[in-house]
């Protein structure tokens, strides 16, 4: 991977990180946790998926170790939530969209990291989904709440999976990386928004 693409991958990861950290801090506020609890949930939501991915594919150290920017993004998200809570809650629709964008960005980042570590396309897609969704799952478990990932609701992991498959297909057909990234994120955001508006769900067992 070129130096330019490495920088782009880092930018993708950090952009999604702040959005997910904000989501985790908002969840902590909804459960009436203190600021320490909010920091824990923000960090887990932002970095849990990437940590699970790195542990599974053998990346050492995991992505956030020795990364001061990772810590700063979590702290900034927590402070923003607690200092401007009223304004943040008024922006829930915006946060929903940015969260969907975060899913798209983390899906792409997870696939790229996996391909760099010599995983095949199928498992790279799986790791992309894990990167995008497992942080929220772990945060819900810590909150003693049924994970959103497992609830019957709008498509979440499914959006990541469909986007990941599309992104892998585009890469395999030598589509420009930036174009593939843009298409993937738009696809995931579109699926998330439509599934919420139309209340689309997967079939029950």
Considering only residues 90 and 198, tell me which one the structure prediction assigns the higher pLDDT: 198
DSSP string, 85-137: HHHHHHTHHHHHHHHHHHHHHHHHHHHHHHHHTT--HHHHHHHHHHHHHHHHH
Within 10 angstroms of residue 91's Cβ, the number of other Cβ atoms is 13
Three-state secondary-structure class, residue 146? coil
Top-confidence residue, 75 or 148: 75
pLDDT on residue 91: 62
Residue 2 pLDDT exceeds 60: no
Q: Give tens-digit pLDDT for 108-141.
A: 989 989 998 999 999 999 999 999 999 989 988 9
**Mean pLDDT across the chain, nearest whole number?**
85
Residue 150: Cβ within 10 Å count? 11
Rounded Cα gap, residues 12 and 10, in angstroms = 5
Q: Which residue has the higher pLDDT, 183 or 145?
A: 183
The C-alpha atoms of residue 126 and residue 146 are separated, in whole angstroms, by 22
Give the global pTM: 0.85
**Alpha carbons 132 and 85: distance in angstroms, whole number:** 25
What is the model's pLDDT at position 82?
A: 80
Quick: pLDDT tens for 54-73: 999 999 889 888 888 888 98
Above 70 in pLDDT, residue 165?
yes
pLDDT at 96 over 60: yes
- Cα–Cα distance between 201 and 143 in angstroms, integer? 24
- C-alpha closest to that of 159 among 93, 88, 106, 83: 106
Per-residue confidence (pLDDT) for residue 179, from 0 to 100: 87
Residues 6 or more apart whose CB falls under 8 angstroms from that of 12 comprise 105, 108, 109, 181
Percent of all residues in the chain with a pLDDT value above 90, rounded to a whole number: 34
Does the pLDDT value for residue 9 go beyond 90?
Answer: no
State the distance between the two ends of the chain, measured CA to CA, in whole angstroms: 42
pLDDT at 85 over 80: no
Q: Are 116 and 171 in contact (CB under 8 A)?
A: no
CB atoms within 10 A of CB 205: 3
């Amino acid at each position: 991977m070129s130096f330019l693409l490495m920088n782009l991958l880092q930018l993708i990861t950090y952009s999604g990180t702040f959005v997910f950290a904000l989501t985790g801090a908002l969840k902590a506020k909804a459960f009436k946790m203190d600021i320490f609890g909010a920091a824990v949930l923000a960090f887990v939501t932002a970095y849990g998926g990437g940590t699970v991915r790195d542990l599974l594919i053998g990346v050492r150290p995991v992505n956030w170790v020795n990364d001061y920017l990772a810590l700063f993004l979590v702290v900034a998200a927590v402070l923003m939530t607690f200092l401007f809570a009223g304004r943040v809650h008024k922006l829930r629709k915006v946060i929903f969209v940015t969260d969907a964008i975060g899913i798209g960005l983390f899906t792409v980042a997870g696939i790229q990291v996996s391909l760099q570590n010599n995983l095949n396309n199928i498992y790279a897609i799986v790791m992309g989904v894990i990167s995008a969704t497992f942080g929220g799952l772990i945060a819900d478990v810590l909150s003693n709440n049924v994970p959103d990932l497992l609830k019957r609701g709008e498509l979440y992991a499914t959006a990541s999976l469909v986007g990941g498959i599309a992104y892998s297909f585009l890469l395999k057909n030598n589509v420009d990386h930036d174009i593939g990234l843009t298409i993937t994120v738009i696809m995931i955001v579109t699926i998330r928004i439509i599934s919420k508006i139309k209340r689309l769900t997967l079939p029950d067992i």
